[in-house]
Amino acid sequence: MGEFVKSTDTAGQGKNLPRHIAIIMDGNGRWATRQGLPRTAGHKAGAETFRRIATYCKNLGVQYLTVYAFSTENWKRSETEVSAIMTLLKKYLLEAVDTMEQDHIRLRFLGDMTPIKPELRALARQTDEISDHLAPGDFQANICLNYGGRDEILRAVRRFAADCAAGEKRPEDLDDALFSGYLDSAGIPDPELIIRPSGELRLSNFLLWQCAYSEFYFTDVLWPDFDEAELDRAIAAYRARDRRFGGVKK
Ligand code: FPP
């Protein structure tokens, strides 16, 4: 599986670089099990891969990177695993608070933060505030936490219905642009490219509204082994696609 496009170290050069790449960081558990390590070691390695790929995206000139860190369904996992993921997030956020301003990295969370522990929510608020001081054109990493595409759409619908009930909006006003503004991703362009490593060929409730015209790239590589060369391959595959958005080729 995967697309056999020659790796290139020039992914950032030339035209047609995706402005927004979204990644389902899958395969951490299998990576750890194959090495005889606990699943949590896979998430630790996966978090380092996130750091590396985010840096690479920023250097290439990709403006937005969205990653699926924890889904609305991931609470079904053991308490040990859930708390290990939350602890990792905390560690990276603490680090981000100290470095994002000098590195010009904006951070935003997508998902329902209500069940997230107060300490982590406070850190997310802090990174939000720092992001507000950075330039809108600076690189932005979006972390999907307690995120589900259906949940995001339902919460948006509830907010829109409440605005209608309050007389602030009318049902007939609703169109694509207005609805997008009610989503967690308001103001962020839709991803041109969605990547899923680890050989799974499904979307798993990720960016259901935003993926309408995204290109997909699947690879068997497990997320902790995903590297710059693999991202180059995904971008090269994207560039070779014929995007027609429902129209015909000119
Ligand atoms: C999917 O692999 C991965 C997750 C559910 C967690 C991802 C979280 C991190 C990488 C850590 C924190 C993130 C950041 C941004 C610092 P899986 O466990 O489902 O793998 P498997 O399918 O092989 O079991």
In our burial notation (b when 16+ CB lie closer than 10 A, e otherwise), range 112-151 reads beeebeeebeebbeebeebbeebeeeebbbbbbbbbbbeb
Furthest-apart CA pair in the chain: how many Å? 59
CA distance 247 to 250: 9
- Count: domains in the chain: 1
Tens of pLDDT, residues 55-70: 999 999 999 999 999 9
What pLDDT digit, counting tens, does each position of 142-176 carry? 999 999 999 999 999 999 999 999 999 999 999 99
Of 28, 74, 163, 173, the active-site residue reads 74
In a domain, 230, yes or no: yes
Q: Residue 182 domain-assigned? A: no
Q: Which residue has the higher pLDDT, 87 or 15?
A: 87
How far, in Å, is the centroid of ligand 1 from the Cα of 237? 24
Q: Is the dihedral of CA 86, 26, 184, 54 positive or negative?
A: positive
Q: What is the pTM of this model?
A: 0.94
CA 243 to chain CA centroid, Å, is 22
Give the pLDDT confidence score for residue 10 in this predicted structure: 53
Find out whether 12 and 19 touch, Cβ atoms under 8 Å.
no
Q: Is residue 157 part of a domain?
A: no
Q: What is the mean pLDDT of the chain?
A: 94
Indicate whether 53 belongs to any domain. Answer: yes
Residue carrying the six token digits 């005889």: 36
193 backbone dihedrals φ, ψ, rounded to 5°: -135, 125
The domain in which residue 131 lies consists of 20-148+190-239
Domain-embedded: residue 41: yes
Q: Give a yes or no: residue 123 inside a domain.
A: yes
CATH number of the domain enclosing 203: 3.40.1180.10
Which protein residues touch ligand 1 with a CB less than 6 Å away? 25-30, 43, 46-47, 50, 67, 69, 74, 85, 88-89, 92, 143
Is 222 a member of any domain?
Answer: yes
Distance 98 CA to ligand 1 centre (A): 24
Is the pLDDT at 231 greater than 50, yes or no?
yes
175 assigned to active site: no
